[in-house]
Chains A and B, each alone.
Chain A
């Protein structure tokens, strides 16, 4: 995971990134806005309350969101890591966060996902994309609009196509 790229995509725009991602094995916390591993958050909530910047968490794709979803609902940012871009578990995690736990903050994809997944990721509830590799973010933004409609119910469209148009 790239820990602190200068820019990322949020709500379909290129924006500056103030958040630093804290790796699982990290021993100290940087100053400013941080995204800490969710188990670190669970174990150190008191200490993190005194942190100088904003605090969010990041979740790995294998983690059982049911175990902590309630405790992170008020955080401004939840990042979901893609250890490989073909690991599709993060798609389910994002939907659960939005649809089951009613999370309304920023859901940020981090790690190895690729531009061509953005349309579907957005449908699952991601609204922010922090790429590991140096890519043309403005160009990548176009992939959010690969399709103008879709059959299924998802976060962006809670009614299926057959109930809207048919």
Chain B
């Protein structure tokens, strides 16, 4: 992974001191609440319903074991001993004290971490595929490009006060595991006829109140022009994005108002001035950054023997076999696999882990995955590059720590925002709904029979729980001060990205779980062969589901 040099370190250290001084002046009454708001947000500090919340950046979801141990220690010293993994691959502390945040940032800086631009109307953390570098369908490793974007976006002098927040994702593979079409800029790595790397550039995707799938504005941007082209997009947005109404301020609204064709022309016109300028990437910088993402020293393995051994272990241990099915993924290097540690056991808020579990995750990474940890937008943890011969041992240790729930990709692996239990924006609680669903569908054979199913829950229309792109989406709504839930069907975050359709009138919390069961019944009754929930829905449409859920009680 990327290692800071003296310049990277100095910038992060100076940001800590800048924020320390800002906090001091705020506490001394020299900075007003209104002025302090964007200053603290640009360092990830929200003031929430119960306490401040600090969001820590995990650039493109990659961490070292040393960093994970530091997070564990910070959560013990400055918080309540647990942290939350978010849908943008970041980490949140739920109970820090405002006065201590500069010290937390200094601790983070000591392990090459920060909270820069994790909130506020600026360029946020760039996200990507959790299987970068090991996926067999990869065109090119997206992580060096994410790091180049991280450096370009960090404290960018022109774009710190945009109309609204701005999110970039990079997809380096055939299958999309980064939901890149739902970002303000989505970059797809592609190769041209001559085998040269470039980017297919999409803009204007996003969830929230007005969910939109991004539009293509340039099919092939040669790689060396990445930063000047991003500068051009951001400059057009900074100048012409709506600043009067925060609900119309995202770039997607501008792209829609102008049309993608006109937006593309404006960007190209701006880019004419910047193209080939000094910010143009050179080969030595690209190679320098790439050199941090080289393959570890893989052992050569007798694949047939390893697979036979795994099969016999699986035959002997049903629970291990289930974990292999759901939580283990092949990678392009034979003899190795990527495993997902589930942060979704029933009874725990999705994405939450304790300090003790973090220490164990760090230990597991040191022992089995070259000390590297990846966070996922589905709020789980991935350890890549695990020798298949060590899977059984790893599984036993992960299980002991409560991290081996074999539910990845199932209905119980839901994406869920913190909701009304923590968030001051929420209309409704989301965590208790997630828990009720996990408790209801606790029969593993039934859950496995349902197969791949993405269920996403947001406590309000800001859509942090990505309800629009769940095969089943649940949205908390406020009806005269009461918490109700709207159900949507048919969303998808993959290459065939689709936004869910509303099933019908919203339901009380008690009715949500029963209604989900009815939806699943309709699926099971109507599916053909191995058809997934999403495919069945796409084939038969919404009516049958609707009729069942809203049928009068008989």
Separation of A148 and B31 alpha carbons in the complex (Å): 24
Which residues in B have their C-beta under 8 angstroms from that of A158?
278
Are A161 and B14 in contact, CB atoms less than 8 angstroms apart? no
Complex interface: stretch among B153-161, B170-178, B309-317 = B153-161
Q: Contacting B35 at CB < 8 Å: which of A95, A114, A161?
A: A114
Q: Which residues of B contact A68 (CB under 8 A)?
A: none
Is B436 positioned at the interface, with any CB of A under 8 Å from its CB?
Answer: no
Residue of B nearest to A85 (CB): B35
CA distance A162 to B160 in the complex (A): 21
Interface residues of A toward B: which range?
A: 35 or more
Could you say which of A123, A151, A153, A163 contacts B151, with CB atoms under 8 Å apart?
A151
Contact yes or no, A154 B157, CB < 8 A: yes
Taking each of B11, B239, B282, which has the highest tally of chain A beta carbons within 10 Å of its own beta carbon? B239
B18 surroundings in chain A (CB, below 8 A): 116, 146-147
Contact residue range for chain B? 35 or more
Judge whether B235 is part of the interface by a CB distance below 8 angstroms.
yes
Q: Is A88 an interface residue (CB 8 A)?
A: yes
Contact status A153-B279, CB under 8 Å: yes
B162 within 8 A of A: yes
A160 within 8 A of B: yes
From 54 to 92 in chain A, residues with beta carbon under 8 angstroms from any chain B beta carbon are: 85-89, 91-92
Q: Are B121 and A95 neighbours in the complex by a CB distance under 8 Å?
A: no
Interface string of B16-31 (1 = CB under 8 A from A): 0010001000000001
The yes or no answer to A107 lying at the interface (CB within 8 A) is no
- Contact partners of B550 in chain A: CB under 8 A: none
Q: Mark A12-54, 1 if CB is under 8 A from B, else 0.
A: 0000000000000000000000000000000000000000000
Residues of A within 8 A of B121 (CB): 86, 88
CB < 8 Å neighbour of A95 from B14, B15, B155, B158: B158
List the A side residues contacting B284 at CB < 8 Å: 166
Contact partner of B285 (CB less than 8 A), chosen from A117, A120, A152, A166, is A166
Taking the complex as formed, is B439 at the interface, i.e. its CB lies under 8 A from any CB of chain A? no
Q: How far is the CB of A156 from chain B (nearest CB, A)?
A: 9
| A11 touches B (CB below 8 Å) | no
What's the minimum C-beta distance from B51 to chain A, rounded to whole angstroms? 24
Q: Which residues of A contact B152 (CB under 8 A)?
A: 151-152
Residue from the set B10, B11, B154 with the largest chain A CB neighbour count within 10 Å: B11
Chain B, 227-263, CB within 8 A of any chain A CB: 227, 235, 238-239, 243
> In the assembly, what is the distance between CA of A154 and CA of B39, in Å?
22
Q: Give 9 CB contacts A-B under 8 Å.
A: A85-B35, A85-B161, A88-B159, A116-B18, A148-B14, A151-B151, A152-B157, A162-B282, A165-B5
